[in-house]
A = this chain, B = another copy of it.
């Protein structure tokens, strides 16, 4: 079952011809979540051959243009393509009014339902769940209200030890409850412990997205032990003052968060246009957290 982070854009506010602005698609099994939607995201969705009509949930971290100026165009394109399936949009409360003003100005009445869910910038919140996946938001610290997001698989079913279940002649209709952890009782009353009949379940994977934020260790509570953390690293150590002033992080900050939260892997992005050699940022991060990699537009990371 797939869990893949597909980065569409990892540039920052000043658009360059080298990098797209913030956007990524997280595919979890058959779901496609879009996180942030900078200008040009719909072009990137096409270029990266992502079936955009499979996106049903869109999460906008904050209202700086490089994180959502592609959203009006994407929502219009869904409409023009005849979409009928609903979209759930999660973002700052003002986003709803902005989108509807733009649609009204163009006399557009969407032929699909757009459900808007305002974000809460005070405390972590469960935004979405279904039988196997949850998405939570958590507040970060930036120059405008901003949330991070964490996407987690729920605990999975134990895996049947076929040899054992065959040996005990366990009927097929019992297998689901055994996957859920129940013991099996034979016709003569013998209790077979679940551990004898199953293997441990596959690990539940998790991914966290933190962009944009100043160095904010409190967010570690929300992203503890995730398999992969995307954390902004707009600047290097050379621009620590500017990072503080603009409420962004350095690569070192990102790595400190990764270390403190005990994540397995860190991917940094949201690079300032001033860095042409991104290894500067990578090396600064690796000092604190070795398992770091550089985001790139088009990069896919499977968990």
Contact = CB atoms under 8 A, between A and B. Distances in A.
Given A102-B98, A106-B64, A73 B144 contact: no
Nearest to A81: B14
B76 A13 contact: yes
Interface in A92-119: 92, 94-95, 97-98, 101-102, 105-108
Contacts of A148: none
A110 to B, nearest CB: 12
Given A14-B80, A73-B69, A98 B105 contact: yes
Nearest to A65: B76
Contacts of A95: 105
B77 A15 contact: yes
Contacts of A65: 72-73, 76, 102, 106, 108
A39 B70 contact: yes
Interface stretch (A42-50, A218-226, A248-256, A277-285): A42-50
Given A14-B80, A39-B70, A72-B69, A94 B98 contact: no
A265 B240 CA distance: 56
A106 B42 contact: no
A13 to B, nearest CB: 6
A261 to B, nearest CB: 28
A69 B13 CA distance: 16
B107 A144 contact: yes
A266 B216 CA distance: 58
A46 B17 contact: yes
Interface of A: 13-17, 39-40, 42-43, 46-47, 63-66, 69-70, 72-73, 76-77, 80-81, 92, 94-95, 97-98, 101-102, 105-108, 143-144
